[in-house]
Structure 1
């Protein structure tokens, strides 16, 4: 399975600096163009998608629709899944983060109808529901066909939810089953698997999840590469089985035992252990045994991180001036080119 975890395009609330969890904030004209460019980029540089999942909020659904429109896959539609909606900010919807984290939080709790921010535990449960009910069953489809029919899946959602989804997926992965792209290491330095960084608008995390047998056969004619080896010396599974994907260095990393969802989001850099070019948390908290037992673990699979927060499609993109780029996108509006062509025709 080949996965793209994609954040939606820029929205009106993004521009205004407002918290928009469940608020159905619209794409700006610039955000629409970001999505259109991503659609072109994926169609030109990757194999055709087989499935697209999206949050039902319009900023994610419209971004996903722009991807679908450029795909050659017959009858490809966008499947909306409520589990993929952004974190609910409750009372703070439509307010700034400064208000949410300001000194008046206790006073806010006394406001009539106050609803607190959705907990990280609730986010994790929604991510698990999506994995177990929608995504992971697709691996069974591939197994039934002996790995011959690979799914290429795009998941278009929101930054906070995507971060939770990645951590919950990472929790399922076996020891020494994650490989990091050489390009990712070169551009970002040491990688903390549980915290790959934020998603920019239409930024994407690209992953390959392969059965160990498929992955081993693709690597059968290649030598293992040590972290110190020259990048020119490496020929890898991704080079063989995934044309036009980034080159991969053979660094086997033990995925960290993830911090509990109620823990702090980040650890100081002095609490990191580096394994090759991959960092894992030293003092991370083991998940509760009861939490792990009910999860479907991906034993026998190898996962490759190919791209983190991919933004190649945005190269050269500039925001339209005069406030046009920041304005809400209207599907009925005409581009300047269309307007003048029609004027000449009339």
Structure 2
């Protein structure tokens, strides 16, 4: 099966440059156009999406619905899950990303309010165990499962998923002209509506058995704080708990092929409209200008 890990479209808090983890930030009009572009792109490339999971926050749900509307036939409505929400920034929620407080240098009070990496890893593994693993066996090779979530959480989900596969079963599919494979340790900023494309295939029975011990994930650990604002910029929010990744059962019967990382091909040529209207909150009740024309081409294309 194919697996798409997708970040939501641009939000009003992305534009404002404030921390918005569990804050239910609205998509901008531009953010919804990004999501429509992605939906049209995936449909044109022949992705047959049979299952969609999304965060229960509206920016992820509306992005998921924008993707679903371009599928023919359309899959069931997205499954909304709190477990794949963004990191909770605690008392930093809603504050400018440049906020600095000399009183919180090593501050225990602030630290106690920001969700830890351990918690993020735990949520990621719960999602994998409760929702993804069974689909490895149930989803046909030609079908796709899409997960629409948030920049920081997706990084933890990806690392947790990667740890389920023996290293010998993981490979990059290099594109022509690429000098080397991208780093799997540091994906960098995950852009709005950018996606990671993974191909998960069952191993041929004839292949030698893979050792059944858990895959050590320490090579993925990073002892430096690596938090992001809602816009993807680095911040100085402290990491609460630096812990070693939890060992989880290894997926022995499957190979993992990494086809795309942070893919934004669908956004080529898409520019914000003048006058600031593209930064306004998207209203699902509003008619898009494309609905006034008898064309199937979505707004923002061409």
1:176 aligned partner? 168
2:132 aligned partner? 135
**Contact persistence 1:138–1:151 (CA under 8 A):** no
**Contact persistence 1:55–1:156 (CA under 8 A):** yes
**Contact persistence 1:210–1:303 (CA under 8 A):** yes
User: Cα distance 1:86–1:159, how it changes in 2: closer, same or farther (>3 A)?
Assistant: same
User: Cα distance 1:184–1:21, how it changes in 2: closer, same or farther (>3 A)?
Assistant: farther
Distance 2:113 2:16 in 1: 22
2:45 aligned partner? 45
User: Cα distance 1:150–1:138, how it changes in 2: closer, same or farther (>3 A)?
Assistant: farther
> Could you state the TM-score of these two structures normalised by the residue count of structure 1?
0.71
Shift of 1:336: 4.8
Deviations 1:153-191 (A, max 9, x none): 00000000000000001111102111112129817x453
SS of the residue corresponding to residue 37 of structure 1 reads helix
Aligned match for 2:280, one of 327, 332, 337? 327
User: Cα distance 1:215–1:177, how it changes in 2: closer, same or farther (>3 A)?
Assistant: farther
Shift of 1:333: 2.2
User: Cα distance 1:175–1:191, how it changes in 2: closer, same or farther (>3 A)?
Assistant: same
User: Cα distance 1:213–1:13, how it changes in 2: closer, same or farther (>3 A)?
Assistant: same
The answer as to 2:260 corresponding to 1:296 is no
Shift of 1:194: 2.3
**Contact persistence 1:5–1:205 (CA under 8 A):** yes
1:203 aligned partner? 194
Greater C-alpha Rg: 1
Distance 2:243 2:116 in 1: 19
SS of the residue corresponding to residue 182 of structure 1 reads coil
Q: Where does the alignment leave 5 or more consecutive residues of structure 1 unmatched? A: 143-147, 217-254, 267-284, 342-346
Q: Where does the alignment leave 5 or more consecutive residues of structure 2 unmatched? A: 208-214, 227-241, 295-302
Aligned match for 2:119, one of 119, 122, 125? 122
User: Cα distance 1:109–1:179, how it changes in 2: closer, same or farther (>3 A)?
Assistant: closer
Distance 2:266 2:206 in 1: 29
Q: Work out which structure has the larger RCO, using CA pairs closer than 8 Å and 6 or more positions apart in sequence.
A: 2
SS of the residue corresponding to residue 305 of structure 1 reads strand
Shift of 1:340: 10
User: Cα distance 1:90–1:322, how it changes in 2: closer, same or farther (>3 A)?
Assistant: same
Q: Which has the higher helix share?
A: 1
**Contact persistence 1:258–1:286 (CA under 8 A):** no
> Could you state the TM-score of these two structures normalised by the residue count of structure 2?
0.81
User: Cα distance 1:301–1:23, how it changes in 2: closer, same or farther (>3 A)?
Assistant: same
Distance 2:102 2:137 in 1: 50
Deviations 1:46-87 (A, max 9, x none): 331010000000000000000111111354220011111000
Alignment of 1:1-346 (within 5 A): 1-99=1-99, 102-105=101-104, 116-142=113-139, 150-183=142-175, 186=178, 189-213=180-204, 257-259=217-219, 263-264=223-224, 287=244, 291-292=246-247, 295-336=248-289
